[in-house]
A and B are shown apart, each in its own frame.
Chain A
């Protein structure tokens, strides 16, 4: 049989390929085209003269960023939040999914699952306002409860050391339920015969989880892990911005809030863009390294 040429293949599959077009347009317009914007970090960008009229200045803005003591505080905050996200937020949906999986009363399980999805659909602005209200030392419910138990009220949002805990805990509350979907799907794909075999060998519920469920969803976990490494430095700007105030700035000021202040409010677009690119390069390195490590250690990797 004659092998079809690429052109013939395209011709044959044209209807299916057409389905790709919207996604392609989206990526070109909103993901690739804006990348040319990174050039402003090598310019003294003039908002009005725009891209073609602004003078090139080389690495000036990168140097300014790397020599500014303030920027290290910001980068550190970002890294620590990213690390916490990985340690605490990433495993949360996996643990929750396993718990759901082990739940035997189907109706109750479905109810709990649905409830756990709900916070995901609240906007960050609403979540942040809720946090501010609940944690207020003068009017908040949490402190009122603490006081009624005889404890001193805690100035949650006025203390730099509380910011990370609040940020990560609320991340888990918002995202864990929704995050279980992918792992539950992976569990559904596990062959029930494996569980039967394990039971025959005398494995209890715990052993079944360790030796059947976990290995069964391991590929999904690894892929999700690599992908979350890529977004480890993408900390939710809105939440950090809304929960931040001068008293917790030491830990709450992250790269995106810094970039917003510097670029959009301060009008130093070039500098803001240089900061952002430095972080993006760093993210790329992280993903690349993780991918290599995963490939070396196991069979699963992104590429």
Chain B
């Protein structure tokens, strides 16, 4: 009995300690950081000017489904939400996605947030099922959205369905920050007097030289597994699956049927066999990549453009990464995937009880003023004007801090982004990549025309089947488990996995899209 009482009382004590520790931790942390921020920003001069502004519209609260990124953990007190409140009198409650299934779960729960962050493939899946509002019917309530779409025909083309509905609006302006580019360690290249490779053959040669100099290294490194073929493909004039044919953009092409795909796969196999790329390239994650890059174990890589600066800030003194023009695979022109556009967008839930507020939100983020505030924040609070130029406060040290501190340029917080805000924080020495990358864009984008619900339902299992088939076989070819002499058999077998049906479906969709835009 005695021991029982002892364990009981000690467990109660432990529980009490735990509870107090937890609540203390979560409660006090923001309190500590909050007061320091305004102090660092100094006085807020606009306060007295406020009454001169027109009266705010009716107060409303909306829920928005947004991303949950560990690189910029979402915070309730992000400036982006505060500014929305100040400008539109809308209080935003953000709900976070926990994985790729979050949207499906939100829809099927019967309790969708009012606005949802969505990718085009999800829109084409759930939009026609009735999950999202057809925004084209409500353009009268969103004059700014209408003006934006009219001024951006490229975006409009991507959001209008085959039957004329608009289930989502795709963000624009920040795509420059999410391009995949090549970069290399210019200090190492200079030290050993190595030439920056201009072709894939030279890439191989220089990697061999680097391997000799640093036997423990894997000179060429990437971390998106088989998905990296999306980045390599354009140098060989293809993307892995369905996309418009660069030779005739009115036709669809399945990239792996291109003979150049064989060349790329064969080359990667050669890199792997000679340990120029890491043996676990398929499963490399961000952490492993960072470790290799910062320990002189990798010297050439492909990554998101913003990573150059982030890595450079982490590298020891004297080490440096620099943008590298993409090496040529075939032909005489170097290519990167056609980037610069965004794919994330926003949809309004058809069950929303705050639909008018949701429209007001969309209209605000796509307005000139909304673009400015949601990209730059507010004068005195996030930036000051020096010599007629805006300068972010000192607590924003690199572009990613915009996201971390204020939520700027995170999902659903903006519609139309002013990329100059991002660029203003990119060091001058790092701006080259943003200037150079657009010069290498492939003639066609890795995109597919929108399908009707029936087409989408019919093609979904086939897409999965062919994806599983080609990724598995290509991995085998690269690992040398299947000899390259069987490549033609592999290409022929694609049709056994539904390639012809898939191509026919997307061709019909592309024909329709072309007819609609004429």
Contact = CB atoms under 8 A, between A and B. Distances in A.
Contacts of A158: 279-280, 282-283, 475, 479
Interface stretch (A44-52, A114-122, A197-205, A276-284): A44-52
Interface residues of A, number: 36
Interface in B436-483: 456-457, 460-461, 463-465, 468, 471-472, 474-476, 479, 481
A247 B460 contact: no
B460 A139 contact: no
B108 interface: yes
Interface stretch (B125-133, B318-326, B391-399): B125-133
Interface in A259-276: 260-262, 264-268, 271
Nearest to A252: B472
A191 to B, nearest CB: 30
A64 B280 contact: no
Interface stretch (A8-16, A25-33, A130-138, A286-294): A130-138
A247 B476 contact: yes
A59 interface: no
B104 interface: yes
Contacts of A246: 225-226, 282, 468, 471-472, 474-475
B461 A64 contact: yes
B283 A268 contact: no
Select the residue from A245, A247, A261 with max chain B CB neighbours within 10 A. Answer: A247
Contacts of B288: 136, 138-139
Given A70-B465, A155-B479, A268 B130 contact: no
B424 interface: no
A148 interface: no
A157 interface: yes
A247 B272 CA distance: 14
B472 A249 contact: yes
Interface residues of B, number: 40
Nearest to A73: B468
Contacts of B279: 137-138, 153, 155, 158
A153 B291 CA distance: 20
Contact of B464 (A46, A132, A153, A261): A261
Interface string B115-143: 00000000001100111000000000000
Interface string A55-67: 0000000001000
A245 to B, nearest CB: 5
Contacts of A247: 282, 472, 475-476, 479
Interface in B340-396: 350
Nearest to B453: A46
A49 B475 contact: no
B204 interface: no
Contact of A266 (B282, B461, B497): B461
B468 A253 contact: yes
Contacts of B34: none
B218 interface: yes
For A69, A155, A158, the residue with the greatest tally of chain B CB atoms inside 10 Å of its CB is A158
A155 B272 CA distance: 12
Contacts of A155: 279-280, 479
Given A49-B130, A155-B279, A70 B468 contact: yes
A193 interface: no
Given A245-B225, A246-B474, A265-B101, A271 B461 contact: yes
Nearest to B349: A48
Given A158-B479, A247-B475, A249-B468, A268 B280 contact: no
B100 interface: yes
B141 to A, nearest CB: 22
B166 to A, nearest CB: 17
A138 B461 CA distance: 35
Interface in B95-114: 100-101, 104-105, 107-108, 110
Nearest to A247: B475
A46 B456 CA distance: 13
B233 interface: no
Nearest to A129: B285
A265 B103 CA distance: 9
A250 B474 CA distance: 12
Contacts of A48: 107, 126, 129-131, 350
In the complex, the 5 A-B pairs of residues with the closest C-beta atoms, listed nearest first: A246-B471, A247-B475, A137-B279, A267-B125, A264-B101
Interface of B: 100-101, 104-105, 107-108, 110, 125-126, 129-131, 218, 225-226, 278-280, 282-283, 288, 291, 350, 456-457, 460-461, 463-465, 468, 471-472, 474-476, 479, 481, 496-497
Given A47-B131, A247-B475, 15 more contacts: A44-B457, A46-B129, A47-B108, A47-B126, A49-B129, A137-B278, A137-B280, A138-B279, A139-B291, A157-B283, A262-B461, A264-B101, A266-B463, A267-B456, A268-B457
24 contacts: A46-B129, A47-B108, A48-B129, A48-B350, A49-B129, A64-B461, A70-B464, A136-B280, A136-B283, A136-B288, A138-B218, A153-B279, A155-B280, A158-B279, A158-B283, A158-B479, A245-B475, A246-B468, A246-B472, A246-B474, A247-B282, A249-B472, A260-B101, A265-B101
